[in-house]
Every structure is written in C-alpha cells, then in structure tokens.
Amino acid sequence: MTTITVHASREYNVDVGKGLLAGLGSKARSLCPRAGTVMLVTDSRVDALYGRTAEENLAAAGFRVERFTFPAGEASKNTRTYLELIDRMALAHMTRTDLCVALGGGVTGDLTGFAAATYLRGIPFLQVPTTVLAMVDASVGGKTAVDLEAGKNLLGAFWQPVGVLCDTSLLSTLPEEIFGDGCAEILKYALIGDPELYEDLRAPFRDDPERIIARCVQDKRDVVEEDERDTGRRQLLNYGHTFGHAIEKCSDYTVSHGSAVAIGMCMAARAAAAFGLCPGDVPEKTAERVRALGLPDRTAYSARELALAAMSDKKRAGDRISLVIPDRMCHVGLHPVPAEELEDWFTKGL
C-alpha cells in the first residue's frame, strides 16, 4: 500500500493499494470516532457490486448505516439528486459528527462531497473511489459540485475529505472503456508536467495500477497544496477541460468525461501549434498517445457549437477565458483568451 498525505485546509491521507475496502469500517471509525450514522452514497451500478459489502463492513464497526443509491451516470449529478440526498440526511437526523461515504466514481464523489459540504454547513465525508478517473482526479483535492442546465460543475464548494481509500482491486470489474476513460486523466498529468509518467505510459499497467495511480495522486497533491482554491497553478489541471466540457455539453453528456478530455487535449495542442505557441510535432505526439490508450482524438461538433457551449465554462472571468495550452511536450501554461476569439481557437483545434 502507498500512502500520500495531502496538506490542505484539512490534512488527510490517500491510501492506494489492494483490498482496502475490507478495512472501510475500521478506517471510518478511526477518522470519525464520534460518528453514529454513516450515509453510504453510491450509484446503481456500483451498489450492485459493492454496496452490501461496504454496508456490512461499516455496520460491523458500530455505525448505523443509511444507504442512498441513485441512477448511474452524469445525468444524475444534478440539483434534484442533490436535494434528495440532503433530505435523506435530514430524515436520518445526521449531526455534524456523522459521516458520508462516497462509494463510486467521480459523479458519486462530487455529489456526496457537495452534500457533505452544505448539510449543517459541513460534515465529514470519506472518499472510496471505484474508477481510475475518480482515484487519480475527482477524489483528491476537495472540489465538489453538481451540474446545472447551463453547464458542468457550476454549483459547488471546496470541501476536503477526511480520507481517501483507493482500493485498486475494485478496478478489476471495470469495463475496458471505463478503465480507458480514466486513462485520459492519467495522460493529462503526464502532459502538463510529468515527462517520466509520459514514458511510463508506454507499458500496460492495468494488471498492477498502484504505482501509476499513486504517482498521479502525488502530482495532484503537489498542485493542490500550492493552490487549493484554484486561483493559479491548479488551473493547469484543467488541460483539455474547456474543450472537453464543451463536447460533453454538446453531446448532452453521452460522450464520457475521459473521452471528451482526451479530444480536448488534442484540440488544445492543435490550436497552440496553429497559433505558433508550441512546436509543430506536439499535436501528433499527443494524439498518438491518446489513440494508444484507446481514446478518441477528434469530435464532429462544429467550432460554433463548441464555442457557444464553452461560454458558460466556470473558468470564464468577465469577457475572457483562461485556456490551458502546451508550449512544448509535457509542459503547459495558462493563456487568457477574449471570449469573442474562442470560436477561432475551436476552429484551429478541430
């Protein structure tokens, strides 16, 4: 097992290794010794696989366990599901010393974290991510949110978990396309500033993902400790996301987050090269690695459609939006762009 400590507004450990779900109850008890009730939050897919095991493990540690299950998918990360969860927490008479446990992917972690951040002005929550994407990105750093009709993650809060348990054995049940989806975020860490990770990704790692996942968590930990509130360096973690979120919105979220981010990173590289901001070989090197991971590098949506979708991106400030753009392989920077020029960037990216 590998343990990474995150020194943020709340200090906590991220444990990465096999078989950690079996110790969920004892871990939760050690982190929240005064808790009486646990709200176990999971989606319908994960609940069928691990819900009962997690509930029994928590009950064995002396918790009264309430289980909240919602339909799997990004479409459930909305204010309706959020309010249903809040109501369940209130009906369970949860107090500030009680605990929420997020068992699932990024949608579950975002939803549970936001509920925990806002119920009684904040109660503890523990992340138990079950996908690659959630382990390396969504579960670490304290960003919590739900989606609005206008765009992704527009209603949210910064709220750090009390701990993160990344049980890599849970990844064995992931379909190949879901595992690959998370690889987009792993590649993102390599492309924004970790050339050693970029080289490591030449070899398959599904059978033994602990080292790669821990490396990504360490990379994110370093950024979060420097810029927890996302006002500077942390924005670099959005590489490919402005383009990617626009693709997700245009598809009504039928294009997965990982696929959209993969396309978005390729678009950012193509646009940067077209504007003379990076060497001409960066786009194809990026696309080659994206395709090698089984991910798409292009979209059929038009520049106009994507630009309109991106206008509600939360990274927009006034009439400008900060794009994360490569200046060479495995190195990126922030590039503020006037909103009226955004369509041209999408055109170059396509």
Average pLDDT over residues 149-153: 89
What gap in Å lies between CA 185 and CA 15, rounded to an integer? 19
Q: Would you state the pLDDT for residue 49? A: 97
Q: What CATH number should be reported for the domain holding residue 150? A: 3.40.50.1970
Q: Would you state the pLDDT for residue 267? A: 98
Q: What confidence tier does 101 reach under pLDDT thresholds 50, 70, 90?
A: very high
Q: Would you state the pLDDT for residue 150? A: 87
Residues 184, 121 share a domain: no
Tell me which H or E stretch contains 287: helix 282-292
Name the domain count of the chain.
2
Residues 205, 161 share a domain: no
Residues 209, 196 share a domain: yes
Return the beta strands (E) in 18-124 as ranges: 37-43, 64-70, 99-104
Residues 220, 71 share a domain: no
Tell me which H or E stretch contains 152: strand 151-158
Residues 166, 190 share a domain: no
Q: Could you tell me the CA-to-CA distances from 223 to 59, 156, 238 in Å, in that order?
A: 36, 20, 12
Paired sense of beta strands 2-7 and 11-17, if any: antiparallel
Residues 165, 35 share a domain: yes
Q: What CATH number should be reported for the domain holding residue 224? A: 1.20.1090.10
Q: Would you state the pLDDT for residue 120? A: 98
Residues 192, 103 share a domain: no
Average pLDDT over residues 226-251: 95
3-state SS assignment for residue 307 = helix
Structural domain span for residue 223: 176-349
Q: Would you state the pLDDT for residue 316? A: 66
Of 173, 200, 231, the residue that ends a domain is 173
Residue 300 scores a pLDDT above 80? yes
What is the pTM assigned to this prediction?
A: 0.93
Residues 250, 152 share a domain: no
Of 173, 205, 224, the residue that ends a domain is 173
